[in-house]
Structure 1
Amino acid sequence: MIPSSQSRVRVMVVEDSLVIRQLLAHIIARDPRLIVAATVASAEEALQEIGRVQPDVVSMDIRLPGMDGLEATRRIMAERPTPIVVIADSIEDSSLKISMNALRAGALSVVEKPVGVTSAGYDAIASTICTQLYIMSQVPVVRQRSFSWRPPTNPPRSEREDLWASARPALMAIAASTGGPPALAKVLGAFPADFPIPILLVQHMGAPFMEGFASWLNGLTSLDVRLAQEGEVPAAGRVYVAPGDRHLALSSTGALRLSADPPIGSQRPSATYLFRSMAQFAGPRGIGVLLTGMGEDGAQGLVEMRQAGGYTLAEHESTAVVYGMPAAAVRMGGARASLPLDLIAPRLLGLARGEGE
């Protein structure tokens, strides 16, 4: 059954190129879940029209005449919070940096810009754009609210967890999805350059953007952030980001392993794949962290890490942009602690330094 026009997701397209604007409108119009509510050629026009149009989601170009997409995102999120999906050219470094900063400013995801109906990969790109617009339209974006937070009552420690207290941590794995880039920037940006253990990182994002994401994150933290390489031995003070469309795992030798194994829960890289390897090969010397994100990826892996004696932590509902992945971890018993974003870095720094909780 095709949804009525009243029940379809209303999309505002912000794109200065007439050709791309028409192409995006064509792509959106073909999807029965979506309807084009408006197309505009500038950020200024978008800000002027958004109150009248009242879109459910905005498709935002980054390179615009006058005000760019980053500033437009900031203004929309401050004045009329609306889910925003960034449509970006994945080639240019400057465009990538603006795209990542737009995520930090409140945009929910970034997807590759279509070139033309005859270009390679057009159907896949078009499908990704529509799916992201539909999914992100469901995210309840609001101005950041104040919250009252109390630490949850921790369950009794198991014998494996008591063993953890005497084993200095050797490695940390951290994962996020929707809302992840700003959360990761906040957590990793609080760590000093002499952070004593390596960090393995999974962020759900389109493959073409992963190198730019790692570079952007590298500029926001004292740590050395890079894409993970097969066989690399992780070193303290470095962050190893799972590359696009490959699982990242710890191997039995302690080196990094990249895998083309099938996706887990439609995700590759998968947080559960990484956490599972940490449970197997780091055991009680591993720390697992699950931040904001849709779905349940990472929850089962965090359960396995906790069962192996590792320290596991999930972002608290009060700060998560999407309380999906961390909620699943808490529900399944995988999170030993649940903390709001501001308290996560101090806790992790203390644990990494062997100071306990």
Structure 2
Amino acid sequence: MSQPIRVMLVEDSLVVRQLLAHIVSRDPRLALVAAVDSGEEALREIHRVQPDVISMDIRLPGIDGLETTRRIMAERPTPIVVVADAIEDSSLRISMNALRAGALSVVEKPVGTGHRAYEAIADQICTQLRIMSQVPVIRRRPIGAERLARTDLARDELRGTIPPTQIPATQAPSVVAVAASTGGPPAFAKLLGALPADFPLPVLLVQHMGAAFMEGFADWLNGVVPLGVGVAREGVRPVAGQVYVAPGDRHLALGPGGLITLLDDPPVGGQRPSATVLFRSVARSAGPRGLGVLLTGMGEDGAAGLLDMHLAGAATIAEHESSAVVYGMPAAAVRLKAAGSVLPLDLIAPRILRAAQPGLSP
């Protein structure tokens, strides 16, 4: 039998810390190796206990969870799951910035054992700790070094040392569909942050995240990118320069007449919202005038839908392994030959902008 996953809890509330410890202890695949009440203690203990994954409270006395996450990712990179209050705006903003700093996912804080949602939240916490413990995280490099690596890859593409990547679109796009899972929030911040406020197309977005966090995620993204961002509403006609985020636990689709449709259909590949549902709807509604982008994420969601877009003549892009936090979903698209273009994250926005400009070859 394999060794249990070593978990360190960082939580300043004694009650919540004890509840988390109880939740972890119920799962035989997890082993609690430390439970600390501050970022300072976490930074001291991490080298001694060497956890496989960390449950991180975001509002800590002294060094908060965001700064603790930054220091851990710089000094001893370890998978981090943020455990946050889904109803406090300030906590949500800090949580999303912690994801940008290197944390992998965010889950709801546990409720008391007598609460009707206790079992579901407890199961979600354990599932995230188990899954994220398997993600290989790296020490955060300086931004300049990362940009240099992306530039080198682009130069190698031009020189022919890696296969050229071309978008085989037959028409200029009228809508962009983007999707991600693990590592998605910082990837979206970077990708959409590189598009101007007057970007001439609407953007439909799927991010795998707990339903309780979707409004907060959209609000956070709206504050860090030039485009307007909000949770998608039924029957709305997408307009240029706006990003429409799939709501929690509902599929986002482009329906008849080009209107947004929200679906309660069963999960696809275990996901709702599903990237494949979004991409397939864009293939049906927009055909060759769609542009699909599949970013970092665990699993295979989106690959089959991106293939439908590709076969419909749409432009399709998958994130390159060099920049993906988890090269799962993009890799699945590459295996299916669904991606007309495979690019590191820094090069995707320029390619989208070229595709969106009338009269220019993408």
With normalisation by structure 2, the TM-score equals 0.94
The correspondence for 1:102, drawn from 91, 98, 102, is 98
Q: Could you tell me which residue of structure 2 aligns to residue 179 of structure 1?
A: 183
- Residue 156 of structure 1: how far off its partner (Å): 9.4
Deviation at 1:352, TM superposition (A): 1.4
Q: Distance in 2 between matches of 1:233 and 1:70?
A: 37
Secondary structure of the 1:253 match is helix
C-alpha displacement of 1:120:
2.4
Structure 1, unmatched stretches of 5+, are none
Q: For residue 18 of structure 1, what is the amino acid of its counterpart?
A: L
Q: Is the Cα contact below 8 Å between 1:154 and 1:336 reproduced in 2?
A: no
- RMSD of aligned Cα (Å): 1.4
Identical aligned residues as a percent: 68
Tell me the alpha carbon deviations over residues 214-244 of structure 1, each in whole angstroms, 9 at most, x when there is no partner. 0000001110000000000000000000000
Q: Corresponding residue for 2:87? A: 91
CA contact (8 A) 2:166 2:341 kept: no
User: Structure 2: which amino acid aligns with 1:256?
Assistant: I
2:43 alignment partner in structure 1: 47
Per the alignment, in what secondary structure is the counterpart of residue 272 of structure 2?
coil
State the alpha-carbon separation in 2 of the partners of residues 341 and 156 from structure 1: 16
| Residue number in structure 2 paired with 1:153 | 163
Query: Which residue type is aligned with residue 135 of structure 1?
Result: I
Q: Which residue of 1 aligns with 2:200?
A: 196
SS of the aligned residue for 2:271 comes to coil
Q: Once superposed, which parts of structure 1, at least 4 consecutive aligned residues long, lie more than 6 Å away?
A: none
- Could you report, residue by residue, the CA deviation over 1:221-270 in whole angstroms, capped at 9, with x for unpaired residues? 11000000000000000000000000000012100000000000000000
State the match for 1:121 in structure 2.
117
Other-structure match for 1:207? 211
1:23 to 19, 39, 62: 19
Q: Distance in 2 between matches of 1:60 and 1:193?
A: 34
Partner of 1:310: 314
Question: How far, CA to CA, are the matches of 1:138 and 1:349 in structure 2?
Answer: 35
How far residue 115 of structure 1 moved from its aligned partner, in angstroms, is 1.8
One-letter identity of the residue aligned with 2:103? A
State the one-letter code of the partner of 1:129.
I
Amino acid at match of 1:184: F
What is the deviation of 1:32? 1.2
Question: How do 1:1-357 and structure 2 match up within 5 A?
Answer: 3=1, 7-144=3-140, 147=149, 149=153, 150-151=156-157, 152-153=162-163, 161=168, 164-165=169-170, 167-354=171-358, 355-357=360-362
1:210: Cα distance to partner? 0.3
Aligned AA (1:72)? T
The question of whether the paired residues in 1 share the 8 Å contact of 2:74 and 2:140 is answered with no
> What SS is found at the alignment partner of 1:181?
helix
Query: Post-superposition shift, 1:144?
Result: 4.4
Give TM-score scaled by structure 1 length. Answer: 0.95
The one-letter code sitting in structure 1 at the alignment partner of 2:332 is: A
SS, match of residue 47 in structure 1: helix
- Per-residue deviation, 1:211: 0.2
Aligned-partner SS, 1:66: coil
Q: Distance in 1 between matches of 2:67 and 2:140?
A: 18
**How many equivalent pairs are there?**
347
In structure 2, the gaps of 5 or more residues are: none
Contact conserved, 2:6 with 2:30, CA < 8 A, in 1?
yes
Query: Partner letter of residue 59 of structure 1?
Result: S
Structure 2: distance between partners of 1:227 and 1:13: 32
Moved more, 63-72 or 142-151: 142-151
CA distance in structure 1 between the partners assigned to 2:111 and 2:280 by the alignment: 38
